[in-house]
Every structure is written in C-alpha cells, then in structure tokens.
Amino acid sequence: MAKAQGLTWTIDDADHMTQAEIYGEVLTQIGLKNKRVVALTADLARSTKIGKFEEKIPERFYNVGIAEANMIAVAAGMTEAGLIPVVSTFATFASMRAAEFVRTDMCYQKRNVKIIATHSGTSFGQAGTTHHCTEDLAIMRSFAGMTVIAPADAFETARAVAAAIDFDGPVYIRIGRGFEPPMHKSMDFDFEIGKAIKLRDGRDLTIIATGVAVLQAMEAAERAAGNGVSVRVLDMHTVKPLDEDAVREALMDTRRIITVEDHSVIGGLGDAVADVIARSGKGCAFKKLGYQDCFAMVGYYEDLQHHYGIDADGIIDAIALVLKAEFEADEDWEDEI
Amino acid sequence: MLDAKERRKLKDKARELREKIVEVTFTCGGAHIGGAFSQHEILVALYYKAMRIDPKRPAWEDRDRFILSKGHGGVGHAVILGDLGYYDPVLLKDFNKTGSPFGMHLDRLKVPGVDFSTGSLGHGLALGLGAAMGARQTGKDWRTYVVMSDGECAEGSVWEAAMAAANFKATNLMAFVDRNRLSLDGPTESLMRLDPLDKKFEAFGWRTLVIDGHDLDQILDAVEISRAETERPVMVIANTIKGKGVDFMEEKTAWHYGGLDEAMRDAALASILKS
C-alpha cells in the first residue's frame, strides 16, 4: 500500500487500530523525526492515546494534571522557543473549559499549537452530557485564525495530524472516542486542509458530512442509489476554512443539500454551509442533521446516532423530505424540471 | 546591590518615565495609571538592568522574555519600550486611538518588544511557565519574567500554573505580584481575601520573597536570588502603592483607571518632581 506523505508507517502495520490509537502512532512517528514537536495532556494520556508519544519520547512529553486551561497557555508559551506543541484532551474540556485560553493565547497571539480533541460528539455516549461535546465546532470556528478539522476515520485522522503539524498556525482536530469504523480503505488519498473530498458524485442531491457522519452519508447514498436517487457525498473534513467552492458547486449542480454532523445544528458544519448558500442568492432545498438544540441522552453511540437521526437511516428519511421540498428555481439551474 | 551612581541613574529614569506615563494618559483620554505606577519600579529594574534584551532586535531568539500578566498596565510597559528604542515614542500620541497599534492591553503582533499579548487576567503565569519549559526543552539559557497583579490571584488558573511551575521545577521562571492591595472594586482584602499570599505560593512549592516593590535594590537582589535558585521557581510578593509617585493618586481605588485634564496633568507632574 502506498504511504501517505511523510509517513513511514501505514495502517497495515497494526490490526484494527482505532482513530485515537492511530493519531497517537502517527504523532509519535512525526515526533521521532521532528524534534520541535512536544506533546501535552491533562491526565488523559491513556484515554486519548497521546500516551504512545510518552512511551517513545518521554523527554518531550508533559502531563500537566487535570488543568486544561493551564495546558493550553503552557503550550502557547512553549511556541516562544520554536516548539510545536500538540495537546490532547477530551473535546468538551478543550473547547469549553479552556475556551478563552484557546482563543486568547492560541488564536489571538497566532501561536503554533495543535489541539487533538477526542471523545467529541456523543462518542462517549454512556458518560452523559458532561462528557459529550456537541458544541466544539461552533465555538472553534468562531475564533479568528483557527483551523477546524473533523476527520472521518482513523486513516483521515492520520493525514490530518500530519497536515496539521506541517501547517503554521493553530489547529483544532476533533475525533471520536476511538471505536469508529473505517471510512477510507487506506491512507492513500488526496488530503488537503480546506479541500473537501468528493467521495461520490450525484445529480439529485448532495450530502455534506463531517467526521463520523461521512461513513453514514456514504451508506445512505448507496441505499438511495438502489432506489434510483443519485446522491453526491462530500467529505467536508475541514469545517474551517470551509471549501466554499465545493459547496457552491453542489448547490449549482444538485440544488438540494443535506448536512450531517455529530454536533449541534447550531454553529457547526450545517450553519457554515447554510451561510454559503444564503450568500449565493440561489434557491435550494436544505436540511441540517445533528442535535436539534438539545443535550443528548445517555446511551450507546450507535443508538444515539440513530435516535438523533444522524445515522444512515436518519439521512435516508431526510433525503425523502428534501427531494419533496419545493423551492423557487432560477435561470441558473437548467436541470430544474 | 546597585552602586550609588547606578541607583541614582535608575531612579531618575523611573521618574522621567512616570512623567511620560502622565503625558500619555493626558493625550489618550484615560489609562490604567494607578497600576502602571505601582508596577513601575519592577519594570524599570527588569528592563534597564536585569533582563538580557536588545531593542534593536526585538525577535532575538536568545533574549529574556517578559510577560505583563496584568496587561492593563500596558501604558507603563509601552512607555518603557518606546524609551528603550523598540519604536519611536512619538507614536504613543495615538495610544487608545482608533486603528492605533497601542491599546490599553498590548498586542505582541502590533507592538515591537511585547513578547506576549495580555489583558485577560490569569494567563501570564501559565504562558511564562510554557516559555520557561520551552527554553529548557531547547537547551536555551534565556529566562522568563512575569508580572502579575494581586487581584489577578483570585483567578483559579493562576494556581494551576503555580502548581505546575513548582512541579516542573521551572527555576528559569521568575514572577512578581504587584501587591498594591487595591483592585477595581476596592481593597483586595475586603473583596476576596488573598493574605497570606506569600504563604500560599510557598505552599504551592515556590521560593517566595516579600519585598518593597518600589525599592530597586530589593527588586534586583530578588532577581539575583532567582538566578541562583536550582530547585524552586521564585515568586516575589512586591508590596507597592497604587498610584505611587502622584500624591493625589496614591492608595486611591478610583485611580485604577482615569483620565487627566490639563490642571491634573500639571499637578501630577509637579508631584512626581517632588517625589
């Protein structure tokens, strides 16, 4: 299998590595080569898998105890010595407990710190709302200068981590708890920060998904194809800066768009896409899937995704609604019948 | 210890800079002048004597780092940086003006010589710890100096950083608390009790010194102690007077932030001349 840019290690080297384990492995690989990379966590080395870095490179690993705000500021301070700090904790703590430190010390000061936020969305389902995080995309995208990435699976996480280290500036990568099924077959695909991946082309409708929802979108598109509905799927791994060209292209080509994310429908991918649509002035049938301004209940992750309509079943239901929706056509859309 | 000539020179410099702070406060409409005066001797001692800096090379890799964690003291910091030649002090006529590089809280990306953008309290000690750890990680001998306000010590993040700095034995970090005992809403001890502040930092693992924060010799002696320390970071509780140097501002909560008309400016300058 071809290896991703700059990496000597591929998914084939490990059996069924999870999203979290992969980023730990990739980060360690990068750290062994790049002495500027340091890793920090706040008593979650084992849970976030950044502990892999500690095993191999203990002299560049810092556990600051349960103090996330302090961790972010310490990381920002470390950049003063030319280091590239990578911090990892749960998404809920990175994006909310430490929010003002991320905004003021990382973004405002343009500090080259990378956050790898795990257990995002409701991936830690049974832990309940304190450990869910359905707000981080909204919060992080509002910080000027922040790059926000939600990889679809372990392979994409590996690519995102490598790209983030190469990128000069603050980056927020949100991943799940680590038990997410693979979406890609390997690490061998084009990955560029800010560039959507068109996983499937289609004429009737476009699903724009991010994170774990991408796999669900692909399953739904497959099932829809069986019913004669042609669905385009965009893997929008970078929520900010958004690939607006890909959104506009989907808008002009299909005029029906559904967004899916393991996140609140307020402020995340859906709103970012809606903004592009609104500014275009074009008519569009549109639906946002995600948590509808609610805290999710406790449960298994897959049950929660189903209950809140962000799995393939939920997307299929949304496809039916959006295909029926009427909107005012304009002269730019020649396919409208 | 300073010799008599050096002490006189630094004291004259401190007085001259106080006058400039009054002038900027007059032209900009209002500034955090009380705190700028309480922190003043600490900044003068660090910038004109203790720190390894080169105003011609603000991005010099091996310079000592300075963090004004009490970012509202920016007016005092900005006057010092201009005087040292990081930029033409004439630019300070635009302090607080729309589009100016100089706001109340200095921005490192806009003001040469500012190592960290501050203003939100409770960040500086952690940023300084990170810088100190970064220097150690990369084998560099530059040191990091942080100046905090006393009211700021009510922020929990100060204690997260205090705990971590002692844990990581950051002896290349030195911090001061500008202990003027007055914050925006009144005396710190009646708002949120801080005493015994020295014992608190001591208990968190710092070597803690209590000094007169307007005594240049005591400040520089503390710096020497910090440089020689091999086990613990050094925290200096610097007892100061808010509004120090201007009789009608001293110990007055109201002078946390304020503006000056011409008569007040003249009175302030006259008071500084007498002090």
Cβ-Cβ contacts under 8 Å, B137 against chain A: 38, 60, 78, 81, 83
**pLDDT for the residue numbered B106:** 98
Question: Considering chain B, what is the average pLDDT of its residues?
Answer: 97
A153 residue type, one letter: D
State whether residue A207 sits within 8 Å of chain B by CB: no
CA distance A309 to A302: 11
Nearest residue to B143 via CA among B120, B171, B177, B115: B171
User: Is a pLDDT exceeding 70 seen at residue A8?
Assistant: no
A311 residue type, one letter: D
Cβ-Cβ contacts under 8 Å, B135 against chain A: 80-81
Mean pLDDT (whole number) for B208-231: 98
CA distance B179 to B197: 9
Confidence label for B1 from pLDDT (cuts 50, 70 and 90): confident
**pLDDT for the residue numbered B228:** 98
Tokens for A261, please give them.
């994310």
Nearest residue to B138 via CA among A68, A84, A64: A84
User: Is a pLDDT exceeding 90 seen at residue A331?
Assistant: no
| pLDDT, tens digit, 9 for 90 and up, residues B32-67 | 999 999 999 999 999 999 999 999 999 999 999 999
CA A92 → CA A43, A77, A89, A96, A137, distances in Å?
Answer: 14, 22, 8, 6, 11
Cβ-Cβ contacts under 8 Å, B117 against chain A: 104, 108-109
Confidence label for A108 from pLDDT (cuts 50, 70 and 90): very high
Q: How many CB atoms lie within 10 A of CB B274?
A: 9
| Residue matched to tokens 């969305």 | A121
Confidence label for A332 from pLDDT (cuts 50, 70 and 90): low
- Give me the CATH topology for the region A197-324: Rossmann fold (3.40.50)
Which residues, including other chains, have CB under 8 Å from residue A161's CB and lie 6 or more apart? Answer: A23, A26, A27, A30, A114, A116, A173
The secondary element (H helix, E strand) that includes residue A59 is none
**pLDDT for the residue numbered A14:** 42
Backbone φ/ψ region at B252: left (φ over 0), alpha (ψ -120 to 50), beta: beta
**pLDDT for the residue numbered A7:** 43
Strand partners, B66: B145
State whether residue B163 sits within 8 Å of chain A by CB: yes
Strand partners, A264: A291
State whether residue A70 sits within 8 Å of chain B by CB: yes
CA A280 → CA A202, A245, A284, B170, distances in Å?
Answer: 21, 11, 10, 54
Confidence label for A16 from pLDDT (cuts 50, 70 and 90): low
User: A21 or B144: which carries more pLDDT confidence?
Assistant: B144
Interface test with A, best of B61, B160, B163, B204 (most A CBs within 10 A): B160
Decide if A262 contacts A216 (C-beta within 8 A): no
CA A189 → CA A4, A140, A183, A185, distances in Å?
Answer: 8, 26, 12, 9
Q: How far B12 CA lies from chain A's nearest CA (Å)?
A: 33
- Share in percent of chain B as helix, strand, coil (round to 5): 50, 15, 40
User: Is B130 in contact with A104 (Cβ distance < 8 A)?
Assistant: no
Nearest residue to A94 via CA among A124, A122, A80, A114: A114
**pLDDT for the residue numbered A21:** 78
ipTM score for this prediction: 0.95
Q: Which DSSP state fits A98?
A: T
Cβ-Cβ contacts under 8 Å, B127 against chain A: 73-74, 76-77, 105
State whether residue A135 sits within 8 Å of chain B by CB: no
Scanning chain B, the segments in alpha helix (DSSP H) are 4-28, 33-38, 40-45, 74-84, 124-137, 156-167, 188-191, 197-203, 216-228, 262-274
Q: Which DSSP state fits A133?
A: B
CA B109 to chain centre: 19
- Share in percent of chain A as helix, strand, coil (round to 5): 40, 20, 40
User: Is B132 in contact with A77 (Cβ distance < 8 A)?
Assistant: yes
**pLDDT for the residue numbered A329:** 74
User: Is A73 in contact with B132 (Cβ distance < 8 A)?
Assistant: no
Which 3 state secondary structure label does DSSP give A177? coil
**pLDDT for the residue numbered B163:** 98
Query: Nearest CB to A77: which of B108, B120, B134?
Result: B134
Residue of A nearest to B136 (CA): A81
Nearest residue to B234 via CA among B137, B132, B110, B153: B132
| pLDDT, tens digit, 9 for 90 and up, residues A184-227 | 988 899 999 999 999 999 999 999 999 999 999 999 999 999 99
Cβ-Cβ contacts under 8 Å, B163 against chain A: 65, 67
Handedness of CA A122, A123, A124, A126 (dihedral sign): positive
Tokens for B46, please give them.
């660090």
User: Is a pLDDT exceeding 70 seen at residue B23?
Assistant: yes
Q: How far A83 CA lies from chain B's nearest CA (Å)?
A: 7
Considering its fold, how many domains does chain B have in total?
1
Which residues, including other chains, have CB under 8 Å from residue B69's CB and lie 6 or more apart? Answer: B118, B121, B122, B123, B124, B125, B127, B128, B146, B147, B148, B149, B152
**pLDDT for the residue numbered B236:** 98
User: Is B116 in contact with A109 (Cβ distance < 8 A)?
Assistant: yes
Mean pLDDT (whole number) for B136-148: 98
Q: Which residues of A are catalytic?
A: 68
State whether residue B132 sits within 8 Å of chain A by CB: yes
The CATH number assigned to the domain holding B10 equals 3.40.50.970
State whether residue A81 sits within 8 Å of chain B by CB: yes
State whether residue B211 sits within 8 Å of chain A by CB: no
**pLDDT for the residue numbered A335:** 53
Question: Considering chain A, what is the average pLDDT of its residues?
Answer: 92
Query: Nearest CB to B109: which of A69, A104, A110?
Result: A110
| Residue matched to tokens 């449960």 | A299
**pLDDT for the residue numbered A4:** 42
**pLDDT for the residue numbered A19:** 65
State whether residue A82 sits within 8 Å of chain B by CB: yes
Residue of A nearest to B170 (CA): A74
User: Is B161 in contact with A70 (Cβ distance < 8 A)?
Assistant: yes
Handedness of CA B239, B244, B250, B256 (dihedral sign): negative
CA distance B180 to A123: 49
Mean pLDDT (whole number) for A105-126: 96
| Residue matched to tokens 């000027």 | A144
User: Is A65 in contact with B167 (Cβ distance < 8 A)?
Assistant: yes
**pLDDT for the residue numbered A51:** 84
| Domain A11-174 CATH assignment equals 3.40.50.970 | yes
Cβ-Cβ contacts under 8 Å, A66 against chain B: none
Confidence label for B217 from pLDDT (cuts 50, 70 and 90): very high
User: Is B164 in contact with A82 (Cβ distance < 8 A)?
Assistant: no
CA distance B261 to B29: 9
Which 3 state secondary structure label does DSSP give A256? strand
Nearest residue to B225 via CA among B176, B260, B180: B176
CA B81 to chain centre: 12
State whether residue B230 sits within 8 Å of chain A by CB: no
- For chain A, the distance separating the N- and C-terminal CA atoms, rounded to the nearest angstrom, is 45
**pLDDT for the residue numbered B270:** 98
Q: How far B121 CA lies from chain A's nearest CA (Å)?
A: 11
Q: Which DSSP state fits B88?
A: -
A316 residue type, one letter: I
Query: Nearest CB to B135: which of A38, A81, A104?
Result: A81
Which 3 state secondary structure label does DSSP give A216? helix
Confidence label for A181 from pLDDT (cuts 50, 70 and 90): confident
**Domain boundaries in chain A?**
11-174, 197-324
**pLDDT for the residue numbered B44:** 98
Residue B150, domain extent:
4-274
State whether residue A69 sits within 8 Å of chain B by CB: yes
User: Is A78 in contact with B115 (Cβ distance < 8 A)?
Assistant: no
**pLDDT for the residue numbered B248:** 97
Tokens for A155, please give them.
């392979």
**pLDDT for the residue numbered A17:** 60
CA A308 to chain centre: 18
Cβ-based contacts under 8 A for chains A and B? 93
State whether residue B134 sits within 8 Å of chain A by CB: yes
Decide if A270 contacts A244 (C-beta within 8 A): no
